[in-house]
Amino acid sequence: MAKLRVATTSLAGCFGCHMSFLDIDERLFSLVEAVEFDRSPLTDIKRCGPCDIGIVEGGVCNAENVHVLREFRRNCRILVAIGACAINGGVPAMRNNIDLWDCFQEVYQYEGGTEGRVVPNDPELPLPFDKVHPIYEVVKVDYFLPGCPPPADAIWRLLTDLAAGREPRLDYTMLHYD
Amino acid sequence: MSGNAISIDGVAVAFEPGQTIMQAAEAAGVYIPHLCHHPEFAPHGSCKLCTVKVNGRNGASCTVGAQPGMVVENNTAELNDGRRALTQMLFVEGNHFCPFCERSGNCQLQAVAYFLNMTSPHFEHFYPPREVDASHPEVLLDRNRCILCELCVRASREVDGKNVFGIAGRGIQARLVVNSHSGRLGDTGLAATDKAVQVCPVGAIIRKGTAFRVPVGKRLYDQAPISEVGTHVTGQGHGKT
């Protein structure tokens, strides 16, 4: 049987969901038997090719997040939102009711530690949005796995269910929002 | 079926004259999802989560009186789909961020969402600007998490006799307000032991200094669903009362 091709990325997230993914521990050995990774922090491949499953951690907080998210949607047959941030904005969305310029001033100008106390303005930096949004407000998402982060067992269940062509089903203790 | 009994999902449930469907169900240990209902207070009928089919027509089980022979549908896919949509709307209308909410694991909104297997809020988020009031030395009021169930309003008026809370505005402008000259909680006679503090089903009214006594993961709804462990958490995260 051909290996499933899986891509993963972290947008406006903390990589905590990826860490929880690695927490499946020795089951990683079974996973690499069945799965080949495309674009992912684990492979450092920079562009996503055609995949069976795309796993997205984090919400959308800037223009680059949207480009990456759309690339995933174009290429992945099944797109999965993983973790609180991808599903409702999470911790980054705490800034949603604070003016963006106030945020920048607080971070770069009022506090010490940044050189010259200027707000970075390099053209290579992605344009930030005034609010952080969950990914399903930008692209269609096929499955959601909540949690901050979701437990490793829940990630394993989701992946094995999808790999087997089953509708993913979580036990009660695997579904939590915190 | 004879006498004072109704049928809920095909099971006979006895009732006392004057009881609502919700009261009869609770007495029989049948769970009907709800948020604004509390057994110690008069029915409010606002959250509509407890909507059931009564003889084929939708009705809020907390306000419809039980009548002999009523046929009630409760735990059906159709009703639970509607309840899930209502719950999702409650999530996007406020700012409900479970990972950093003190009430997480003891929150009835969250517990109902778990029960209904809600994996995403589905709708576009409002991210409404809501005010936090930390002026009271012992109680925190975080309007981001308020679902306007009015339980604190009712408890403060009917049990505490203080009339500390009210709802102002209409529709999306509706918000929880505090009855003091400054509009701040610290300028009211609210005490941390008041019923109004204990009845909040979500993380809107939190007793300071107690929120993390029970760690996340070991709270009421972390291991078992609300349909099994019940709803009556004290406001302070100590578990079932």
| pLDDT score of A43 more than 80 | yes
Query: How buried is residue A67: exposed, middle or buried, by Cβ count under 10 Å (0-12/13-18/19+)?
Result: exposed
Which residues in chain A have their CB less than 8 angstroms from residue B98's CB? 84, 148, 176-178
Q: Is residue B52 part of a domain?
A: yes
Which residue bears the tokens 């690339």?
Answer: A71
Choose the mutation target among B88, B119, B228 for the interface with A, i.e. most A CBs under 10 Å.
Answer: B119
- A83 Rama class: left (phi>0) / alpha (psi -120 to 50) / beta: left
Average pLDDT, chain B: 94
Pairing of strands A51-57, A4-10: parallel
Q: Give B25-41 pLDDT, tens digit per residue.
A: 999 999 999 999 999 99
| pLDDT score of B237 more than 50 | no
Q: Give B55-80 pLDDT, tens digit per residue.
A: 999 999 999 999 999 999 999 999 99
- Count structural domains, chain A: 1
| Enclosing domain of residue B28 | 5-75
Please give the structure tokens belonging to residue A127.
Answer: 């344009």
Please give the structure tokens belonging to residue B233.
Answer: 């958490």
The SS3 assignment for A35 reads strand
Check if B123 contacts A (Cβ < 8 Å).
no
- Same-domain pairing of B60 and B124: no
Interval A110-125 mean pLDDT: 85
CA distance B33 to B35: 7
| Enclosing domain of residue A91 | 4-96+130-174
Q: Is residue B241 part of a domain?
A: no
Distant-in-sequence, close-in-space partners of B221: CB < 8 Å, separation ≥ 6: B105, B106, B107, B110, B111, B114, B229
- Count structural domains, chain B: 2
Q: What are phi and psi of B189, to 5 degrees?
A: -90, 15
For B127, the closest of A84, A131, A177 (CB atoms) is A131
- Same-domain pairing of B107 and B224: yes
Q: Is residue B63 part of a domain?
A: yes
User: Which segments of chain B does DSSP mark as H helices, in order?
Assistant: 21-27, 77-93, 108-115, 151-158, 195-198, 220-223, 226-229
Question: DSSP letter at A149?
Answer: S
Q: Is residue B239 part of a domain?
A: no
Which residues in chain A have their CB less than 8 angstroms from residue B96's CB? 88
A174 confidence band (pLDDT: 50, 70, 90): very high
Number of CB pairs, chain A paired with chain B, less than 8 A apart: 75
pLDDT of B152 reads 98
Q: Is residue A152 part of a domain?
A: yes
CA distance B27 to B42: 16
- Same-domain pairing of B38 and B139: no
Interval B44-54 mean pLDDT: 97
CA distance A178 to A148: 5
CA distance B79 to B58: 9
A178:B99 CB<8 A:
yes
| pLDDT score of B2 more than 60 | no
B232 confidence band (pLDDT: 50, 70, 90): low
CA distance A33 to A159: 13
Amino acid at position A117, single letter? R
Return the CATH number at A139.
3.40.50.700
- Same-domain pairing of B132 and B184: yes
- Same-domain pairing of B130 and B207: yes
Q: Is residue A55 part of a domain?
A: yes
B222:A134 CB<8 A:
no
B23 confidence band (pLDDT: 50, 70, 90): very high
Which residues in chain B have their CB less than 8 angstroms from residue A131's CB? 127
* Cα-based torsion angle of the residue sequence A65, A66, A67, A68 in order, rounded to the nearest 10 degrees: 50
Closest chain B residue to A81 measured between Cα atoms?
B120
Q: Is residue B234 part of a domain?
A: no
What is the ipTM score, two decimals?
0.94
- Residue closest to B147 by CA, chosen among B78, B101, B216: B101
- Same-domain pairing of B118 and B215: yes
B104:A178 CB<8 A:
yes
Q: Is residue A110 part of a domain?
A: no
- Same-domain pairing of B110 and B215: yes
Q: Is residue B235 part of a domain?
A: no
Q: Is residue A9 part of a domain?
A: yes
CA distance B33 to chain A (A): 17
